[in-house]
A and B are shown apart, each in its own frame.
Chain A
Amino acid sequence: MIDVINLEKHFGSNKILKGINITVNKGDILVVIGPSGSGKSTFLRCLNCMEDPTGGQIIFNGVDIADMKVDINIHRRHMGMVFQHFNLFSNKTVIQNIMLAPVYVQCQELRKAKRKNIITTFTNIFRGKDKKKELIPITTSKSEIKKNARDNAMQLLGKIGLQDKANVYPSTLSGGQKQRVAIVRALAMNPDVILFDEPTSALDPEMVGEVLDLMKALAKEGMTMIIVTHEMGFAREVANRVIFIDDGQILESAPPQEFFSNPKNPRLKEFLSKVLA
């Protein structure tokens, strides 16, 4: 589903990513680990062009999204992202946070279809009787879109047990609740893949569990996920592949069992001995 080919990123003369090649298939749970400053967050942020790659290709569903000419907004809708610091919209309530993007996107499509229909109706006047163009059928309305999005959002909130928090502002939630809402916000777009950028690093230790549990549940449902994390236990349990990035390169890529019990790269051995000690 995602093919990363020779991905490079540099800020000025500072090279962060030095040619990364990896393929992520549907249903994969890829965990990225590495020391700080190794480029693992930059790698993740390049995948949905939060940082524009300076070289290489990212083929997502058959389109090279690293190409600057591509309308990245359309592809980002199929690529959820969860941030270290949650980044819930603080001027919106929980349910508005979840509904905002789906409602906007669908209403935009509705507007486009209506606009096209007006043009077709107008041009049809000048067309011959047998050459008239068909109108795009409009089956929904703005209020219906909103209602569906609300139902969907409530259902998703029910999944994480926060239905009673639907109408509060994010500032009243705990860190764990915020992060679970952020995950649900990404889910509301029905993405093909979700990118997690250190989702538990800004949480109190006692809240890490609830977020990881939700991610495990998603993994069981077959969601494709790419996760940058320091939770080695989680990586071992949930991932089906773990990669180790250091100095802007993938130094090791293996299934978790092999990755943790039989690391080959000396740099990885050193890293694991430090974090697992």
Chain B
Amino acid sequence: MGNFGQKVSKFIEIFIEQNGYVRVLEGLKNTLLIAVIGLIIGIVLGTLIATVRVIPKYKVLPRVLNGICSFYVGLFRGTPMVVQLLVFYYVLLPIIGVKMTGVQVSMLVFGLNSAAYISEIMRSGIMSVDAGQLEAGRAVGLSFSVSMIKIVIPQAVKNILPTLGNEFIALIKETSVVSFVGAADLYVAFNYIGSNSYEFMVPYLVMAIIYIVIVLLISGGIKLMERSLRKSDRRN
């Protein structure tokens, strides 16, 4: 610890003079890309799954779909993210013969994984909306899907936004495992700097700070969004 200043200057040397920052920016880009695309896939797919699971189940088709969806959710919640990444990259993709880069696979797997979690979050959100809202939509002649899209889901999203933010933050942090399939994220970039200087203390410290800053920025953004969505609840 005594020569902390020396370690910092060594880090700065590699970071700037040996173009370490290019790798860090690249890693940051990949980290954010994987988390954001994963979240988008997760929200779309998760909302679909949640909707399927709240449809009344006295007909055969909803029951079958519901079964498939519960199986999907069970599967993706029951295995660790790393295992899913490895299985996709080294087992599934070679079997079906599709070539994808590590980043692409990560986006896909993060999306599929978060869809399982988001579907449960969304389901609780949909169930928190008064059943009368859907009824009123149906009563004016809108179909089930239109009533869901225009009335129920916007209200559900408002209710679950804090939890959804949590999921996004969790995704950002979990991206640190994508190096398992060869995607260059923040961890890979700082690891490179560390192993080039045989000095890991400062790089990993900076990496931690970057993660914290990202997460703080996101939670700030979510707070703003929440406030604007809450305006229909306010009694001016």
Residues of A within 8 A of B (CB): 48, 50, 73-77, 80-81, 83, 85, 87-92, 100-101, 104-105, 168-169, 171-172, 182, 185-186, 189
Contacts and interface: CB of A to CB of B under 8 A. Distances in A.
Contacts of B133: 87, 89-90
B218 to A, nearest CB: 24
B234 interface: yes
Interface stretch (B15-23, B107-115, B138-146): B138-146
Contact of A101 (B132, B141, B234): B141
A151 to B, nearest CB: 19
Contacts of A89: 133, 136-137, 151
Contact of B236 (A77, A85, A92, A172): A172
- The contact size tier of chain B is 20 to 34
Question: Lowest 8 CB-CB distances: which A-B pairs, in order?
Answer: A77-B141, A87-B136, A101-B140, A87-B132, A81-B139, A76-B141, A169-B232, A91-B154
A182 B235 CA distance: 19
A183 to B, nearest CB: 12
26 contacts: A50-B138, A50-B139, A74-B141, A76-B140, A76-B141, A77-B141, A80-B139, A80-B140, A83-B136, A85-B132, A87-B130, A87-B133, A90-B133, A90-B155, A91-B151, A100-B142, A104-B142, A104-B146, A104-B150, A168-B236, A169-B231, A169-B232, A171-B235, A182-B136, A185-B140, A186-B139
A159 to B, nearest CB: 18
Interface in B139-195: 139-143, 146, 150-151, 154-155, 158
B142 A91 contact: no
A85 B141 CA distance: 19
A171 B234 contact: yes
B89 to A, nearest CB: 41
Interface of B: 130, 132-133, 135-143, 146, 150-151, 154-155, 158, 231-236
B233 A73 contact: no
Contacts of A92: 151, 232
Contacts of B236: 168, 172
B225 to A, nearest CB: 14
Given A73-B141, A89-B133, 7 more contacts: A50-B139, A73-B142, A76-B140, A87-B133, A90-B133, A169-B232, A189-B141
Nearest to B232: A169
Contacts of B234: 169, 171-172
B112 to A, nearest CB: 29
B138 A83 contact: no
A83 B235 contact: no
Given A171-B232, A171-B233, A50 B135 contact: yes
Contacts of B132: 83, 85, 87
A185 B140 CA distance: 8
Contacts of A186: 139-140
A88 B139 CA distance: 12
A100 B147 CA distance: 10
A77 B158 CA distance: 29
B143 to A, nearest CB: 5
A228 B226 CA distance: 40
A240 to B, nearest CB: 24
Nearest to B56: A52
A172 B140 contact: no
Nearest to B155: A91
A105 B141 contact: yes
